[in-house]
Structure 1
Amino acid sequence: MAAEMVTGVLVSTFLERTIDTLASRLFDIFHQRKHKKKLRYLKMKLLAIDVVALDAEQKQFTDSRVRDWLLRAKDVVIDAEDLLDELDYELSKNQMEAESHSAAKKVWSSLNSSFLIENEIESRMAEVIDDLGDLADESNILGLKKGGGVEDVCIRIGVDEQEGIGVENVAAHLGKPKNVQVSMSSFHVEKSKEMNIQRLGQFNLHGRLTIDDLQNIENPSDALEADLKSKPHLVGLQFKWNFIGSSSVDSAKAEDVVENLRPSKYLKNLSIRNYIGKQFPNWLLHNSLPNLVSLVLDDCRSCERLPPLGLLPFLKELSIYRLDGIVSIDADFHGNNSSSFKSLQTLSFSDMRQWEKWDCQDVTGAFPRLEHFWIKNCPKLKAYLPKFVALKFLDVRHCEQLEALIVSAIELRLQDCGKLQLDCSTLKNLTMDGHDMAASSVAMVGHMLFNTSLTMLSICSPLESISDDCVSLRIFPLDFFPTLKRLELSGFPNLQMISQDHVHNHLGYLTIEKCPKFESLPANMHMRLPSLGRLHIADCPTLESFPDGGLPSNLKYITLWNCFRLVGLLKGALGDSSSLESLEISTPDAECFLDECLLPSSLTRLQFFDCPNLKKLDYKGLLQLSSLRELCLWECPNLQRLPEEGLPISISTLDIYN
């Protein structure tokens, strides 16, 4: 019976963590008022479950219906956490993509990706809100009470409520009730008595807490009085030092402080940032946090040795950034264990500028569940990386000395890693960009000529970084990639055409940009690319016409940047049965646009982007677009006014930017 019981405090802890993290992460994405309202509604629903969790814990032993309710509540909160994890994953991918793209492409990429992410997140959020609403209704039917008893007090101090509420006043006004639960998002250490680190020892802390300005602790023994090791419901901790403008840095004192801030063994999430000690605390070196799930070590520049993190049995996410003291990672990192990192799913290294070697050849059986691996800005790293047997996503950026990487992954992203050698047998998605990547990609394309599993291929290189004779690829053989769904080629100075002799039933997205000699899309593409739904062409000055026979009839989205000649040919290339819904145009030369009968009448969305000389829109041309609902005018500084006749009544949305 006891094995089936559900701990209400555990559910409450999940809820507290979800409330805080969803609030901080989702507000970064959803700036519009309607999204803020939905997020507040989600938070309210979460709180409605949270406040009765303790009572449910007590009643589950005598009421099987309450026990079932707790199980369902835990499942819903896990769904909410999964939603957050998916959002973090998408954001990190988009951030990596945006870092290497031009300003214009950043805008275009963010528009497409954010639109898709936002719709998906909204849908998932609505499902979670509905499930939480059902649970709240059932809690009333079951007679669950807030707080679980009259002596229980729950205090939340969030970012929004901190103005005018000093932490010192919380203890003064509460006294010492039997059960005081305090949840605060951050605590800034000051040298004054009112806000020194010892204050934290008075509270029964729950949830997640950031302790900032730890450099203000004058006596390391004061940190002991925070008594973090005796706070089992504090499941998330972030330690931060700030030395900006400080003339003295005492590494020994920092080591003593962090040693005395030892958390409880129930801690699940830990971040250590801007730490200037030369070694990590013993409680991290000696595996004293067996329940740790997520760990971030950021800007610990003086540390020369990593803890034996491979021994942490439940660690799922590990991020190591800006540890400039690390030159080599040896077997101690794995814990000299044959099954190290047995739960790890996501691993990230970034800005490790002195790191030269990962000694892992003698390590076997490590990382059995690792699915996502990022490694960025490690310019001195050479030789081999571990073998990852379950890897799904690999992202390697600015690791110019990394010579050998034998890895099987489903999705691979590379930037400025010209010396890499790869096993591409399991690849489905491949993205390559950066200086000289187009040159190195030619050999890889040749290696993959008989790859029948690849579904996404993206190769991008800054055109100015390539000499005219270093890339020999003139014809891209689309027939050799029969399963491709997405193809992006950018920065090939000699690419002239895409060849295709057979019907390709999968390609739905095609991008060609910054290819100055490109002059021909696939012949008969109207018949041979029946699934093509999106076409993006940019900065291809020698492409002056569409193929004979026109474009595929299923095309719904077209982007034409600096290809003004093609715009006037669109209607003829699409024919009378066009499915085109959205057209984005960028041209630096045109002063007047939208002559009569220029564009297909099926358009529902038309966007002008970066048209510095555009002065006039033709009303009659707009009127011909009888299905047009949305008109976007971005970066058109010389467009002084709209047509005198106004806008067609079909347009319901007008979006003007800069």
Structure 2
Amino acid sequence: MTRDGTSELNVLNMLQPHNGLKVLTISCYGGTEFPSWLKCPSFHDMVVLTIENCKGCQSLPPIGQLPALKVLSIRGMANVKNVGPEFCGAGVSHFRSLETLHFQDMKESCPKLSGNIPNHLPLLKKVQIDGCGKLPILVSNFPDLCELEVEGSKGVVCRSMDGISSLDLGFLSKSLRFTSQIEGFAMQGLTNAEDLTIFACEELKCLWSSGDEGPLPHLQFLRLLHIDDCPKLVSLVSEEVEARLQQGMPSMLTEIVIKNCMVLKSLPKAMMYNNNCLQLIRIVKCDSLKHIARGQLPPTLERLEVSYCENMEIILLVDSINALSTLRDIDIRNCQCLHLSLDRELLPANLRVIHISDCEKVSALPEAIHNLTSLEKLTMHHCSVVPFLETNLLTNLASLTISAHDRNTDATFEWGLDNLISLNKLEIRNFQPVSFPKMMFPASLTILTISDFPNLQHLSSKGFPKLVSLKELYISECRQLESFSKDGLPPSLLKLYISQCEKLRSLPKKGLPPSLLELYIFQCPMLAKSCKKDRGQEWRKIAHVLRVEFHTNLNLRPSDPL
């Protein structure tokens, strides 16, 4: 059945609401023009107006004279070809109360959409443009604009953007160039920008190029720079201009996050060691990047994260270590080419967190790690050699995770772990011993994980009786494990998790501690059989536990080891 546009117009005309209406949505209207009552400014109290999926209309109603309108959303207007003066209405002052403007889903059906988004909007705080073809964005006269989000647009014109404090540009096509000489995104217009996010811009090669004259006075207030999924981005600054930009990079920048930029080769020197505000550097999946900085890292840096960078070779230079007095957190993951065989005194003294995982060429932590008296968390996972610690000096270490890469290092079991007086979480993985009877644990420990011990047969240690504070015990992937310690489990235990221990038949002879509230057994067929209610020989040991779960499928487990 076809829709009669004239009839729908007549019906909508008869549905004229009262002048005190505050919120109005017109959706899926089939007429070719909007009703006459929407063309007058008599709705003096209207605050929110949404017009969506009115596919028969070729123009937008003149609603610019609505005095109280704060939120305007235009979506899915398939046949609108122009956004022009008739949209704003007569008079110089229009949309004088508007704070949020949203255009969406006009890309496929309106490839020739033209005109301009209304300007001179004194109270505008947020503009969202999503999938609107070639709709130009001229925001030179938005003095109070806080946020601009552009997504799925082919031609964005931002000649002057002095008022913008936050800018989010996404999925921008070839016509958008981040240079000043080509119509498109003009970097020197962003004098007040504080937060810049760029993602999925396929043609972006650099942010600052030879067309940017002078010492880059623009972006002087930039604090956050996030770049994601720009496959052609080679550098933030082109080589021919980097030398003259040493004093012109954003000096207030506190955070740099770059992800999925596979051909990125370098970060600007000026952005690194001429910056006295930078606190966070996060680099993810930038396979062409071999180093973070060719000189020193910023002296204000607090957190450094590098992950999944296949060709990363150098992160910390010897000459820069002493200057990094504020560095608290180093997180390095899956960097297979990274060499980090550090010598004595080559770690910043104030480090609190070190996480290094899946870096096969990382051979050891420095001998001076015991001088890191502020260190609270240490993780070494799948690295070539596990470090030997002088544990009595790591008085603030609260969390320790150690996982061997080649299973050939069992030095862990000779450490004086009981000297780590603040340690409350210990996780040891991927080691070879059949048992570790002499291993001692600190009395402060509350969480213990023992995982991936292919030869472990007996869970016995002199240290178990001293675990008077232990609340959670996780045992997984110990496929040869047959028995627990004859001394039983710690009396304070609240949660016991046993997974993939196929040869384990029984629980400790002394039973489970009365304190135990939760017991999870996964992929331990013989133990599960022994614990069957009223029939299994181990049932009496678990009858008092409030929550007991058995599963043959690991995907059904309620929680993983912490």
TM-score > 0.5, shorter chain as reference: yes
Aligned-pair identity (%)? 17
- The amino acid across from 1:305 in the alignment is F
How much is the aligned-residue C-alpha RMSD, in angstroms? 4.7
For 1:436 and 1:355, the matched residues in 2 are separated by 22
Amino acid at match of 1:368: S
- Matched-pair contact (CA < 8 Å) for 2:436–2:461: no
Are 1:346 and 1:370, in contact at CA under 8 Å, matched by a contact in 2? Answer: yes
Aligned letter for 1:479? H
The aligned counterpart of 1:432 is: 332
**CA distance in structure 1 between the partners assigned to 2:506 and 2:56 by the alignment:** 65
Of the three residues 221, 228, 236, the one matched with 2:83 is 221
Q: Name the SS for the 1:318 alignment partner.
A: strand
Q: CA deviation at 1:567?
A: 8.8
Write the mapping of 1:194-213 to structure 2, written as runs, cut at 5 A.
198=61, 205-206=69-70
Residue-by-residue CA offset, 1:97-145 (whole Å, 9 max, x unaligned): xxxxxxxxxxxxxxxxxxxxxxxxxxxxxxxxxxxxxxxxxxxxxxxxx
Q: Which amino acid aligns with 1:418?
A: M
- Give how far 1:549 is off: 5.8
Secondary structure in 1 aligned to 2:448?
Answer: strand
Equivalent in the alignment of 2:147:
269
Cα 1:474/1:268, change in 2 over 3 Å: closer
Tell me, what secondary structure is at the counterpart of 1:352? Answer: coil
Question: 1:432 is paired with a residue of what secondary structure?
Answer: strand
2:298 is aligned with 1:394: no
Letter in 2 for 1:370: L
- Cα pair distance change 1:552/1:450, threshold 3 Å: same
> Where do residues 195-594 of structure 1 align in structure 2 (5 Å cutoff)?
198=61, 205-206=69-70, 216=78, 218-221=80-83, 225=87, 230-231=94-95, 233-237=97-101, 256-259=134-137, 264-277=142-155, 280-281=156-157, 284-287=158-161, 290=163, 292-302=164-174, 303-305=176-178, 307-309=185-187, 311-330=189-208, 339-357=217-235, 358-359=237-238, 360-363=242-245, 364=247, 366-385=249-268, 386-387=271-272, 388-402=275-289, 403=291, 405=293, 406-408=296-298, 409-415=301-307, 416=309, 418-422=312-316, 423-424=320-321, 425-426=323-324, 427-437=327-337, 439-442=338-341, 445-446=342-343, 449-461=346-358, 466=360, 472-473=363-364, 478-493=369-384, 495-500=385-390, 502-515=392-405, 516-521=407-412, 523-538=414-429, 540-546=430-436, 548=438, 550-563=440-453, 568-569=458-459, 572-576=462-466, 578-587=468-477, 589=479
Provide the C-alpha distance between the structure 2 equivalents of 1:560 and 1:420, rounded to a whole number of angstroms: 32
TM-score (ref. length: structure 2):
0.70
CA contact (8 A) 1:607 1:633 kept: yes
TM-score (normalizing by structure 1): 0.61
How far does residue 472 in structure 1 lie from its aligned partner after superposition?
4.5
Change (3 A) 1:313 1:407: same
Equivalent position of 1:179 in the other structure: 45
Query: When you count helix as a share of all residues, which structure comes out higher?
Result: 1
Cα distance in 2 for partners of 1:312, 1:252 equals: 24
In structure 2, distance between residues paired with 1:653 and 1:231 = 63
Structure 1 CA distance, aligned partners of 2:457 and 2:24? Answer: 58
In the alignment, residue 629 of structure 1 is paired with which amino acid? Answer: L
Partner-residue secondary structure (3-state), 2:462: helix
Measured at CA, do residues 261 and 455 of structure 1 come closer, stay the same or move farther in structure 2, by a change above 3 Å? closer
Task: Note the C-alpha offset of 1:236.
Answer: 4.6
Contact (CA 8 Å) 2:354, 2:377: kept in 1 or not?
yes
Counterparts of 1:591 and 1:179, CA distance in 2? 74
C-alpha deviation, 1:636, in angstroms:
7.0
Distance change (3 Å), C-alpha of 1:613 and 1:257: same
**Aligned-partner Cα distance in 1 for 2:523–2:99:** 48
Please state whether the residue corresponding to 1:191 is helix, strand or coil: coil
Structure ID, larger Rg: 2
**In structure 2, what is the equivalent of residue 86 of structure 1?**
none
Asked whether 1:624 is paired with 2:523, we answer: no
Partners of 2:49 and 2:437 lie apart in 1 by 64
> How many Å apart are 1:630 and its aligned residue?
2.8
What do the CA deviations read for 1:579-638 (whole angstroms, capped 9, x no partner)?
A: 1111222226369887875422211122335x38489775977x5221112334567799
SS in 2 for 1:488: strand
Q: Say whether the 8 Å CA contact 1:593–1:617 is kept in structure 2.
A: yes
Cα gap change, 1:344 to 1:512, in 2 (>3 Å): same
Could you give the per-residue CA deviations for residues 404-444 of structure 1, whole angstroms, max 9, x where no partner exists? 5242211000121514454443222111112415x4233xx
Separation in 2 of the partners of 1:340 and 1:329?
Answer: 12
User: Whole-Å Cα distance in 1 between the matches of residues 225 and 144 of structure 2?
Assistant: 22
Q: Secondary structure at the match of 2:340?
A: helix
**Is 1:328–1:355's contact at 8 Å kept on the other side of the alignment?**
yes
Unaligned runs of 5+ in 1: 1-149
Deviation of 1:153 (Å): 5.1
Residue 4 of structure 2 is matched in structure 1 by: none
Name the SS of the counterpart of 1:478 in structure 2: helix
Mean CA deviation greater in 362-371 or 292-301 = 362-371
Q: Secondary structure in 2 aligned to 1:575?
A: helix
Contact preservation (8 Å) 1:231, 1:264:
no
CA deviation after TM superposition for structure 1 residue 285, in Å: 1.9
Give the deviation of 1:165 after TM superposition: 11
Residue correspondence of structure 1 range 56-71 to structure 2 within 5 A: none
Match of 2:533 among 639, 644, 649: 644
What 5-or-longer segments of structure 2 have no aligned partner? Answer: 1-17, 116-131, 180-184, 558-562
Alpha-carbon distance in 1 for matches of 2:431, 2:417? 22
Task: Specify whether residues 261 and 311 from structure 1 end up closer, same or farther in structure 2 by C-alpha distance, changes over 3 A only.
Answer: closer
- Counterpart-to-counterpart distance in 1, 2:456 and 2:109: 62
Give the AA of the match of 1:301: S
Of residues 5, 19, 23, the one that matches 1:155 is 23
| Aligned length, in residue pairs | 479
Cα distance in 1 for partners of 2:303, 2:435 equals 34
Deviates more, 1:355-364 or 1:325-334: 325-334
Counterpart in 2 of 1:92?
none
Alpha-carbon distance in 1 for matches of 2:204, 2:191? 24
